[in-house]
Structures are given as structure tokens and as C-alpha cells.
Amino acid sequence: MTNLRKAGVVIAAGIAAVTFASAADAATTPWTVAPSDNAATGDTQLTAVSAVDATHAFAVGSAGSRTIAERWDGTRWSLLPTPTPDSGGTLLGVSAVSSTDVWAVGSGKANATANQHALIEHFDGASWTIVPNPSNGVMDSLRAVSARSATDVWAVGTNGQNTTTLPLVEHWNGTSWSIVASARLGASATGFFNGVTTSPNGDVWAVGTVTAPAVPEGSNRAALIERWNGSAFVQVAAPPTADPRFTTTLTAVAESGSDDVYAVGAFGHSGIALHWNGTAWSTITLPAVANSTVTLNAVTVAGPNDAWFAGIQGLATVTEQSTSTSSAIVASPSGAQRGSLAGLAHAGPALFAVGFQINDPATFQDQTLALTNAAG
């Protein structure tokens, strides 16, 4: 089983669509399992999704050591051929300006002895191509991307150096990608970004984790939140957690306006969700879950006081619908053996969620899981 989170090999082949869901879930959930393709061989996972409208959406991920992308046509998801660096790669984020202008990011290796490097791909409506990017870390990766327009696209991730790991930010201006400095983390601190969102007013939010020396634990992993002020990224304080000894990781961020931004992730063995009201971040009350680890991997904001979260609870998928102060679990289909959701998107009232499911107890093979919710 794989781990959820110029051209070489190209994937084009798929097998029959997967439409598994438990009978109990099917009777109680507003989510529907949508037909989606899998690669001919190997574990296949979808890690991110972006929707243009109810009949045009894109999802990306990996099949074994190869990148994959799928397109939604209003009825089903179908594989699109994608380039993969010669020694493998994965796509972790996707953002569509339109059905003919789609960006995807991740990481790949040019050859068996090469280090992992950030990977950027673009879809022009006809084919995916690898786009040069300026990242030059020893081990780097882009984990999320957000496109405000054809000439304003932001991608974030991690920039691994010889002795440290720092956040990585890149920007597309319509012609080329360039590296943008993130806020200084402080002496001996390390960190990375997992999520990014842009808004029409010029805001850019990036979220992840920062690790700093702490006594007596040795180190403390806390939420990292940064905001673009038009000329530079600045750190914004996250609300305090119940116990700073527990690790806090923010995995995704989304917004519906400058005073309505949501971020999600994990705090210890529990999920965490935050809301920005234009002035400060606050913690959203999540449903209590007993004897089960929860990680929220994705968020989308359909409108004011209407956000959706998705991730994994125990060995099954979890989705939640949230206001700016609290959320409630909404039943979601999952694999017979295991399921997890990694990406969320909306187009009008239509919601899309993607991830993976495991149904065969003999092979324990990952297969794509794609959900739709027409009512939102």
C-alpha cells in the first residue's frame, strides 16, 4: 500500500471503474461514489481535486511510482495521459483556471540516483506537459497549488537542504515560475507548507508545520500560517492548542473571502479546524470521536458559514460540514477494508471528494475513490 501523502513514462491505460461503497453508507449519505479509473497495475490513489463547474473537474495522484490525472465529464472520471520523470513521481496538488488551463504539482526523480525534486505539470486542454521550475533544494517537493488566474498561480511545499527543511513557495506570472521567499522561521526552526489558497482581493494563505527547539521535549511541532501582504509573506499567529506538547500539522486551507478562511489538519490524534474572520484565527469545535485517530486532509468553502472538511477517521473516510464555529460529521462511503479522502472541491452546490479505498483483503491494493455530492 502506497503512502498518501522532461517526460519519461506516460500512463494512459485504465481498468474498469470502481464503484464500491458499503450498503449502510449508501442508505444514509448524501455522497455518491462516482466511477473512476485505476492504472493497469499497482496501487492507485487520488490526492487532490479542482472543479471548474459541475461537468468539468480534474483530479491528480499516483499509481505506484507514476503520476496520474483524471478528468470528470459530469458522469465519470477518466484517466488522462501524464508525463512522469524517468525514476518516478507523484502529483499532490491541482488547481484549474479553466478546462484548458490546469496546474498540478508534486515531486519526481529524474533517475535512480537523483534526489527528489519539485514537479510542475500543466494541462492545456489537449495534453499534460512538465514545466521547468526553479527549485534547487537537495530534497524538495511541491504539495499544493492555487491558481487565481492564468497569470497568477501559487504553489507551496518543502525545500530540503543538507541540514534543514524550509518552506518552499513558487509563483507563476504567466511566463515562468519563480521562487518567493517565505517568512523567516527563526533560529534553528524548520518547517514546510502543505496547503495554499488565493482570493480575488490578492490574499494568499499558506499553511503547514513549524518545528522549533523546546524544553523539555526537545522540539515542538506547531501550526504554521503565513499570509501574503502584497510584497512579502508574514507569519500569522494560530490560536493556542489545549496541549502544546502535541504535534499540530495544518494540511489544507481554503477561503470564500478575505474574512472567511478555513484551515484543517491534525492535533495529536484528533482533527483540527481553524477559521479566520478577517482579524484573527479561532478554533472550530469538532465532533468528539472516541477511540479513533482523525486527520482532516482537505477543505473547501462553498460560501459563508458553509465549509466542508474531509480526511480519515480510524480506517474509514470522514467528511464534515462546518460553520465558522462548529462542524458535524456527514456520513461518507468508504472502502470495505479501508478508505481515506485527500482532496475536496466545489463548483456551485456540487461537491467533489477524492482519495483511495481498499476492498480486497487478500491484495490490500489501493484503488481510487471519488465521491460527488450534488446538493452540497
CB-facing half-sphere around the CA of 180: CA atoms within 13 A:
25
Indicate if the pLDDT at residue 14 is higher than 70: no
pLDDT given for residue 40 in this prediction:
78
Give per-residue pLDDT as tens, 269-302: 999 999 999 999 999 999 998 888 999 999 999 9
pLDDT given for residue 218 in this prediction:
64
pLDDT band at residue 188 using 50, 70 and 90 as cut-offs: confident
Measured between alpha carbons, how far is 64 from 87 in angstroms, rounded to an integer? 11
pLDDT given for residue 135 in this prediction:
87
pLDDT given for residue 298 in this prediction:
98
Model pTM score: 0.92
Is residue 25 within 8 Å of 331, Cβ to Cβ?
yes
Fold assignment, 9-373: Methylamine Dehydrogenase; Chain H (2.130.10)
* Cross-strand partners of 56: 53
Domain ranges of the chain: 9-373
* C-alpha cell at position 267: 492535533
Give per-residue pLDDT as tens, 134-153: 987 778 999 999 999 999 99
Measured between alpha carbons, how far is 2 from 16 in angstroms, rounded to an integer? 21
Give per-residue pLDDT as tens, 225-250: 999 999 999 999 999 998 888 899 99
Is residue 346 within 8 Å of 352, Cβ to Cβ?
yes
| Percent of the chain's residues with pLDDT above 70 | 91
* Cross-strand partners of 23: none
Burial of 111 (0-12, 13-18, 19+ CB in 10 A): exposed
Measured between alpha carbons, how far is 292 from 217 in angstroms, rounded to an integer? 25
Is residue 64 within 8 Å of 2, Cβ to Cβ?
yes
pLDDT band at residue 2 using 50, 70 and 90 as cut-offs: very low
pLDDT band at residue 116 using 50, 70 and 90 as cut-offs: confident
pLDDT band at residue 216 using 50, 70 and 90 as cut-offs: low
User: How many Cβ atoms sit within 10 Å of the Cβ of residue 188?
Assistant: 10
